[in-house]
Chains A and B, each alone.
Chain A
Amino acid sequence: MSSSETETTPGRFGPYGGRYVPETLMPAVMALEAAYAEAKADPAFWAELGELQRTYTGRPTPLTFARRLTEKCGGAQIYLKREDLAHTGAHKINNALGQGLLAKRMGKRRIIAETGAGQHGVATATVCALLGMECVVYMGVDDMARQRPNVFRMRLLGAEVRGVESGSRTLKDAINEAMRDWVTNPESYYLLGSALGPHPYPTMVRDFQSVIGHEAREQMLNQVGRLPDVIVACVGGGSNAIGIFHPFLNDTNVALRGVEAGGRGATLGDHAARFFAASPGVLQGTYSYVLQDDDGQIALTHSISAGLDYASVGPEHAWLHDTGRATYTAADDEEALDGFETLSRYEGIIPALESSHAIAEALKLAPTLRKDQIILVNLSGRGDKDIFSVAEALGMEI
């Protein structure tokens, strides 16, 4: 790909993307597109966001050389981009702050969000507290059970968490409910948490998350003296992955590898590995790869990690997949758990179960590469929220 501009026409990445929403929402989505275009062109907007990233989020997040993990694998050097050290414990704050400032600029008072693992919900609740806005977060009741520390955090931050009982009671259903709220209250601001949904969300969320890749690129050059050979990131909706990938798209010597949730097996319903089993379709406003049955009904998904447990994937990833600029692989629940434990013990860093999928891939990949090669893993979040799920999976009691 000669250009980093993967958006082939506004809102489209090759055939993927678009804007498949009910007419009631079209004016709101178009107003959002116009407001974002205006903000994007305003240096004052980025100056305010940059100041908050520095003084509130704690950016830039460090680049850490994982010495003991590298020695253990006996191959490529493994570096970690430490989004787990961003305020609220994951990369989700990057997008929540950006969109929160945009919502403020648009004069919005009420914020709607969905959340899977709860990290986006916590980030949104945090930004709403910071900016003094009302916050309603939709979350599948199954996810509320497995990520209950985050439910409590959101409530402490003043957000109203609404449990979603429909469908698979996970991220997909939370997005449906958030969109129903937005259709009913188009004056509210829908703060979508991943690089999915109708245009302009995939582009806008990617722009706000690209701070990860821009920092990482500079840190690699300054700290290590060269770019990595491979960048590895987990892919649910795909916001942390697109955030670290995008600034490297023109660096064609840098391989980009997304890791999906292999769940508990290859049967439809047991995983969220879209690039292995899905076909193009429309879900929740965008055309992308969708796990579905022969009738076009959206399939159930499973992953030990709530943040990767989603039937579709951001449209820009679909395009990167088709063009071959990025490759996609999967780590199953057990491999993720192994990544979780290994990083904890070898580096003193407890990763989120989502990020543990990327760690699992690095553990597989490193021994196959030379010692002078470099793998950069986007450590998208920390794992405190996951201790209950992990304890249960390991048969331990807390």
Chain B
Amino acid sequence: MSRIAATFARLRQEGRVALMPYLTVGFPEPGSTLDLVPALEAAGASLFELGMPFSDPLADGATIQRATQRALDHGINLSTCIETVATLRARGLQAPLLLMGYYNPLLRYGIERACADFAAAGGDGWIIPDMPPEESAQLHAAAAAHGLDLIMFVAPTTPDDRMAEIAARASGFIYVVSLTGVTGARASLSTNLATVIERLRRLTDLPLVVGFGISSPAHVAEVAQIADGAIVGSALIAQLEQLPAADLVPGATRFVRELMTGIER
């Protein structure tokens, strides 16, 4: 069983849902990710989405655009991201690690080589927002050959027949986009999220993890009622932007513990 499947099986047994923080690799400082991930795992996070920076992140809002630009300024690339994963594993990190980013840097690195190197480093899956299932055959095959999941998205705009096709190709979990828009913290979650989840449940037994816009313990609690996991990205990045360097890890830990109250309540 893959690390992702094992994690969700364990959570299901415990009757809990997953909190999955998003961190841009190399943000705010080049080495920050190596400090943040273990601390947030200890605080209760179950999986991690690690952002690979790209110059033209067209599915991302202003917060993640700023973070990825900063990471690019630090010289972070796909190799650095894979090395970060390897280092985290070498230090004993248990949680599944997924790399999130746009397709072109992967293509440039080489699809087969990227999958081989990422799997060897101890990575678990790719999240590629500009890679719809229709274009994914090559990446899907290479990922599967190396035991990696290519995470599929379902959006509020996805019609039923398409949802069935996506569910049939998906592995690991399905990333449910909570709202029609780019990433970024929102005041409230979409009203039709529950309907989307309900439709999807009829099509798949895979875990459903909700992302985009989740920014508070109340949002996490709302998602925990209906889904198997919640992704918190922009809200966490916004915290990191404000924290003084000395308080970075403790501050991020406090924020994640606070979010965890949404799961544990």
Partner of A27, one of B77, B135, B159: B159
Q: How far is the CB of B10 from chain A (nearest CB, A)?
A: 28
B130 cross-chain contacts in A, Cβ below 8 A? 20-22, 282, 285
Interface members, chain A 288-328 (any B CB < 8 Å): 290, 292, 294-298
In chain B, what residue has the closest Cβ to A294? B108
Report the interface size for chain A: residues with CB under 8 A from the other chain.
36
In chain B, what residue has the closest Cβ to A279? B108
Interface residue? B134 (CB, 8 A): yes
Q: How far is the CB of A14 from chain B (nearest CB, A)?
A: 15
Interface residue? B55 (CB, 8 A): yes
Question: Does B182 lie within 8 Å of A180, measured CB to CB?
Answer: yes
Interface residue? B65 (CB, 8 A): yes
Question: Does B103 lie within 8 Å of A282, measured CB to CB?
Answer: yes
A283 cross-chain contacts in B, Cβ below 8 A? 56, 104
Q: Give A172 to B104 CA distance when docked, in angstroms.
A: 15
B131 cross-chain contacts in A, Cβ below 8 A? 20
Q: How far is the CB of A269 from chain B (nearest CB, A)?
A: 12
Question: Is the contact region of chain A dominated by helix, strand, or loop, or is it mixed?
Answer: mixed
Interface members, chain B 128-163 (any A CB < 8 Å): 129-132, 134-135, 152-159, 162
Interface members, chain B 76-116 (any A CB < 8 Å): 77-78, 102-109
Q: Give A183 to B60 CA distance when docked, in angstroms.
A: 10
Question: Does B56 lie within 8 Å of A26, measured CB to CB?
Answer: no
Question: Does A167 lie within 8 Å of B132, measured CB to CB?
Answer: no
A residues whose Cβ falls under 8 Å from a Cβ of B: 18-28, 166-167, 172-173, 176, 179-180, 183-186, 279-285, 290, 292, 294-298
A-B pairs with lowest CB-CB distance, top 7? A296-B108, A296-B105, A23-B153, A295-B77, A24-B155, A184-B181, A297-B55
What 18 additional pairs, Cβ within 8 angstroms, besides A281-B107, A296-B108?
A: A19-B132, A21-B132, A22-B59, A22-B155, A23-B158, A23-B166, A27-B155, A28-B157, A172-B56, A180-B58, A180-B59, A280-B107, A282-B102, A282-B103, A284-B58, A294-B108, A297-B55, A298-B56
21 CB contacts below 8 A, A to B, read A19-B134, A21-B130, A22-B153, A23-B132, A24-B181, A26-B132, A27-B157, A172-B56, A183-B58, A184-B180, A184-B181, A184-B182, A186-B157, A279-B108, A281-B107, A281-B108, A282-B103, A282-B130, A283-B56, A295-B77, A296-B77
